[in-house]
Structure formats: structure tokens, C-alpha cells
Amino acid sequence: MDALAAALEAIDNAVPVDAPYSQQLIAAKCRGMILGYHARWSDVQFEVLPGSVEEFVQSELVNIDTAKPSRTFTLAAKKDVTVNYKSQRVLIDHKTTSDEIDDPNSPYWRQLMIEAQPSHYMFIDWLRGQKVDYAIWDVVRKPGISPKEIAKAEWERVTVTGVYCGYKLSQETIDELRAGSKRENLEMYTARLADDLVNQRPQRFFQRRAVPRLDHQIAEHAREVWMHAQNIITARRENRWPRNSKACMLYGRPCKFLGICSGQDSEDSERWTRKKQVHAELPILEGDGRDLLTFSRLGSLQTCQRKHYYEYELGIERIDEEEAEALYFGNVWHAALEAWFDHQPQIGENINGNADFAPANAVAAIGGSTSEAIHVS
């Protein structure tokens, strides 16, 4: 099975045919997107490191100034994929956004250039003796179009030719149109979306940018992670988790813990339950994961310490909480990309692995840093 077929099958497996229309619409959008993604990037000669797709990694947390490990916390991450590209070890991280991405000077790219996530993953790999040369942001702009009414002239042409936006339609869709339907079904919507992403505006929706990180930048992140770990230890000891009221309505929607913070609910009410594992994005772990530091957890801590307390210390979640549309889309799209990369050419593990990059000499280690921007397009 080739990469595109595997990705399409992954979407089908993630969204069954009897799923609600809203979920089937997400599946149709993801099908159009993966057709565009494959057309845009299938010629780029990445070689995937075996076992690196959605790889779960852990390492001890080390104070790089003293070379002593934390007695409380370990680091953990689930990386998207690591590849060999032009004889260099490269970490690829997938992103989806509704923002403009075709302009390299847009605010979206300026923010990503200082995003700490690549540094976090590189630090973990550094401690594991597998230093990464650089990272690549693999960004997809989420299309905003929806199924539309079909113009009369277009409807007449499609019912005769059976072709819509360059794609041959199934007999079922053709029969549906000939029976009088004047609106795109999901197959036609996928075809129009794919035509836009493959033939009309691929650069609007698919961009990759290299993320160079010098050794001193990774070291700076390492010191910040150590500082956050010490802050958690202090907060645990004193049982103090300050609230940040500026974060209650981030992204235009209330924080899921706002009811508890405002006194209208309680973590002990029947609306909440304790998670067996506090890191939903990680595989099954031994223990509850409260002493694992992930990038998502550190982001929660920086956003609001009280939110971090509920999410990663108490480990509570709403019993009746439905999966948000954006999260559902993200899960389906991530499944498609995982399958796509799983079916790319693979190589052995001997690319740029360096066992000398160990906790004791992490600060002094040199080499392999990329100081110039590399645009992969």
C-alpha cells in the first residue's frame, strides 16, 4: 500500500460511515487535504527513521549546570516523526492553523520561530544521545470552505460527464445528481477541495520551514525547564497554585475549569472524574504520569498554574465533556499524517546518532548546530 492509500484508509478507520454528518464532513475535508498534501510533498526525499513515527520518548531531567538529575521529574514527549534529509537528522512537527502561512514574514511564522516545542524535543534527544541537526515545522492551513450549491450549468455538465473539478465521481453520486440534487455531497466537496489544494493554491495551504536551534538555545530551554520543575515542587510543598484570570477566556471560549475557579462547581462534584493518567496524548504508562514533564504540561503551567493543578496534579476531567470539533479534526488529520509517514522510505538508525551527547557534557557539546534558515519547499 502506498502512502496516499494508507492515509485515506486511516481517515476511513477514524471516522466510520455511520458517524454523524459533522464528523463525516471532517473526514471529507481531511481526504481533500491529504490529496493536496501528497501532491505537494511526495517528491521531497525524506527517509524516515524506523520507529520514529509518533515515537514516545523519555529521559531523565538534568540540571545542565551541575549535571545532576532531578529526583522528582522525568521528561517525556510524543514526537511526530524523525527523518534523514540530506544526511542530517531532522525532527518534523506537524501543525494545523487557520492563519496565513504563505507569507514567511506573517505573525504566525514569527511566533513559531520562538516556539519552545522544538527545543524541548531536541533537549530530550540530546540527553538520549541522539542529537538532532534541526527541526522542520510542517504546517497545513485548514481550509475554510464548506459544501455549496451547484450552479445550473455546472450541474448539467457533471450529470453528463460524471467529472467534477477534475475528479471522476462515483455512480452513486451521479445518480444522486440526476435524481435532482443541486448541492455538493461529501464526495463532490472533497473533489473541489482537492482541486483547490492540488492545482489552484497549494502554497496557500502547505508550507514547511526549517527551525534552527543552536546549542546555547537548547541549553537556555533546559534551564527554563529545570526552573519550572522547581516551581512545581515549591507549589506542591506550599499547596499554592495561583490563578491567571487573563487565561480564563483564551481562544474565545471559557477554560474548562472556569466553573470550579468561579465557585459555581467543585472538583468533587459528580461532573468530574479522576483520570488514571494525566497525559492524554501519551501511550499507557506505568503510574499516573504526575511526575512527567511534557511540553503540553509546561505550556499549561505557564498559562495558568491553577489550570495546571487541576489538569496535571489532581488529574480531573469532565465526565460529560464532548470532544471539540477542532480536537476531533486534529485527531483525524494526525492519523492521516501518521499513516502517510509510516509508508515513506525508511533507513537504519545510523544517521547522525552520537552517544557522546550525554547529560554530563551537554553544555560543552558542540557540532551539528544549524545557524542558517533552511526552507524546505
pLDDT per position as a tens digit, 199-242: 999 999 999 999 888 999 999 999 999 999 999 999 999 999 99
pLDDT digits (tens, 9 = 90+) for 29-68: 999 999 999 999 999 989 999 999 999 999 999 999 999 9
Please name which of 359, 285, 338, 372 lies closest in space to residue 14, comparing C-alpha atoms. 338
**pTM, two decimal places:** 0.86
Pairing of strands 81-85, 163-164: unpaired
CB-based burial, 11-39: b 16+ in 10 Å, e otherwise:
beebbeeeeeeebebbbbbbbbbbbbbbb
**Residue 194, burial from CB neighbour count under 10 angstroms (0-12, 13-18, 19+):** buried
Confidence of residue 165 (pLDDT cuts 50, 70, 90): very high
Above 60 in pLDDT, residue 361? Answer: no
Taking 70 as the threshold, does the pLDDT of residue 376 lie above it? no
| pLDDT given at position 121 | 96
Q: How confident is the model over 128-133, as a mean pLDDT?
A: 92
Domain ranges of the chain: 223-318
